[in-house]
Structure 1
Amino acid sequence: MDRRAFLSGSAALGAVLAMPGLAETQEISLPPQPSRYPDDAWVVLDPRFSQYMIGNTPLQRQWTGALWAEGPAWNGVGRYAVFSDIPNNRQMRWDAVTETVTPLRHVSNFSNGNTFDFEGRQISCEHSTARVVRYGREGSPTVLAETFEGKPLNAPNDAVVHPDDGGVIFTDPGYGSHWYYEGNVRELELPTSIYHIDATSGVLTKLTDEIFKPNGLCFSPDYRILYVADSAATHHPEPARIIAWDVEENGRKLTNRREFATLESGFHDGLRADVDGNVWAATGFAGEGQDGVQVYAPDGTKIGQIKTPEGCANLTFVGEQRNRLFMTASQSIYTIYTAAQGAHIA
């Protein structure tokens, strides 16, 4: 190498080294300090829960930015979960591939619960309009229910769909009518009830009003039992419970009402069943160490918990195998892999 080439190369190297940050050792950005396995989010209360616990998986905070996250539902075709941020009047979309959250709908009429029917159409319970709507292929909503016996519904909360005829069962506790924060302020004109929408005729039938504040709901794996969270404690001198009914006529009739579980503090909101018939119940306002997800065996025994740093409003199983629990917890979204498998798609 001649002198001119050497000097030219030295000058170029000097210029590079003079650039801010490049002459120094680069700092690598690391994620937050990991928790030691097994993650202390897992709580085994009964040996039956041990088979659903995975010892080498963490509770992951996927996103934060909501005021009150609610109503998650899994779309297997799109590989995303939709959820509601009620006070911000929007629906959000969590992408399972990129694990990012983006807006889906704004304005959402302060929607709460969401689900997908067996044709892949999204069904949403709206607070401010007191309606149950279904989004078609074009993305526009069709109203499925908004009045009963000439009176407006209270504020539909959560919904499930029966596979045999596509009938929709939804709860109507009225939370979206108590304050403007989550809808509108208005007097409830109807008893807090559970309803059925006939998929063919559109006829709305009241199934029962033997429940104080019907909230989240789910079917058993065989669709023969309907579980409904009664968050009575928010407005009544009653403890929060999970009520169970036998399902008849594809959901057009509920019989044999019984108390499945009773809470000592806080209340359950969203519910999901796994393939073994266990009920996974989102839990909030119970305090540190109790908020998160409480899991009940089919006989009603509480067998385990997954603790979250924030109160948990709702949950669903996501992923190709439906083995990842997706939790809408106050201001944030959390996930954790489990050895359980969700019984139903949405």
Structure 2
Amino acid sequence: MSTEIYEIHDPRFGGLIHTNARLETLWNAGRWCEGPAYFAAGRYVVWSDIPNDRVMRWDECSGYVTTFEKPCQNHNGHTVDLEGRLVSCEHRGRCVSRIEHDGSYTVLADRFEGARFNSPNDVVVKSDGSIWFTDPSYGIDSDYEGDAAESEIGARNVYRIDPSGAVSMVVSDMVQPNGLAFSPDESLLYIADTGQTHEPDCDPVIRAYEVQGDGVGAGVDFVKSDAGLFDGFRVDTQGNIWTSAGDGVHCYGADGVLLGKIRIEETVANLVFGGPKKNRLFICATTTLRAIYVNATGAAR
């Protein structure tokens, strides 16, 4: 069943959307928009325009868009840590960095066992303050989103930064690990594999890993895309996954069933829940920043 922009595959999706809510275009001057993060204290969204080497800022109160940072080392994914600071994945910097409350800049991690990361892509903060991030090769594959270079690590993995600063490798069985998020109770870590960009036989899946202390157990395929690749995604308080895809935003139940889609004419790269009630999806869709109200609430970090 479809209702204009909505595609309902399971009756549960009807309870997660407002059929009279419309998709808004907040900005449309990007080249490849990614990595949205919402700052509740300031009521604004920041996101990356990776090839243009800038981070943009949309103000929720005024609707104005300004440049937050340029140049920015080709930022990709962002998140907000437990103290309200911006944590960033840098393609060209090949690191995970943080902007402190006073505006100063801190590199949190740029190497593992002496080798530089490829190009950190997406990042999430766990409730214990640890930082988990993916490290595919997109930022070193060409000069379009970073600097072309050979991989020093020779693999594409997922890493954890302990609050002490120590870095450990937690997942090594993916072709190109990309978006990631924890389930609401943090018992599962979900990670998207976009390896089909490099290996045509790689399934476009989100895998689920049981969290075990400071690491994870073996992963299992959780959902498979029927339209392009999954990239960035978020989880709501009920455990539903809202994910980017080639034809818009897909919503999956905690049981892995496709509940429905929000159709968008551009490839979606990433999204984040925001607004005072965390019930508004801010969506990075290729050249645009979009927004839509849903009947769901983003899960706490």
- 2:120 corresponds to: 156
- The answer to whether the 8 Å contact 2:225/2:245 transfers is no
Selected match of 1:95 from 59, 81, 86: 59
| Cα distance in 2 for residues equivalent to 1:40 and 1:188 | 45
Give percent identity, aligned residues only.
42
**CA distance in 1 between partners of 2:38 and 2:9 (Å):** 28
- Structure 1 equivalent of residue 254 of structure 2: 298
Moved more, 111-120 or 96-105: 96-105
Shift of 1:264: 3.6
Q: Which runs of 5 or more structure 2 residues have no equivalent in the other structure? A: none
Counterpart code for 1:301: V
Could you tell me which residue of structure 2 aligns to residue 313 of structure 1? 269
Indicate the RMSD between aligned Cα atoms, in angstroms. Answer: 1.2
Q: What letter matches 1:274 in structure 2? A: D
Q: Which has more strand, going by share of residues?
A: 2
| Residue correspondences, number | 298
Structure 1 range deviating more: 70-79 or 336-345: 336-345
Kindly indicate whether residue 292 of structure 2 is the aligned counterpart of residue 328 of structure 1. Answer: no
* Contact 2:189/2:208 (8 A) holds in 1: yes
Gapped runs of 5+ residues in structure 1? 1-37, 285-290
Q: Deviations over 1:65-121 (max 9, x none)?
A: 010000001111011111000001000111111222111001110000000101011
Where in structure 2 are the equivalents of 1:172-187 lying within 5 Å? Answer: 172-187=135-150
2:105 is the counterpart of 1:141: yes
- The AA in structure 2 aligned to 1:46 is D
For residue 170 of structure 1, what is the amino acid of its counterpart?
A: F
Normalization by structure 1: what TM-score?
A: 0.84
Distance 1:187 1:229 in 2: 23
Match of residue 20 from structure 1: none
Query: Partners of 1:79 and 1:264 in 2: how far apart?
Result: 34
1:229 to 166, 174, 192: 192
- 1:303-327 CA deviation, whole Å, 9 max, x = no partner? 1000112110000011011101110
Separation of aligned partners in 2, 1:340 and 1:307:
18
Give the structure-2-normalised TM-score: 0.96
Structure with larger Rg: 1
Counterpart residue type for residue 257 of structure 1 = G
Residue 68 of structure 2 aligns to a residue in which SS?
Answer: strand
Hey, which of these two has a bigger chunk of helix by percent?
1
Q: Does 1:279 align with 2:273?
A: no
Provide the secondary structure at the position in 1 that maps to 2:262: strand
CA–CA distance in 2 between the matches of 1:264 and 1:103?
Answer: 35
CA distance in 2, matches of 1:226, 1:239: 18
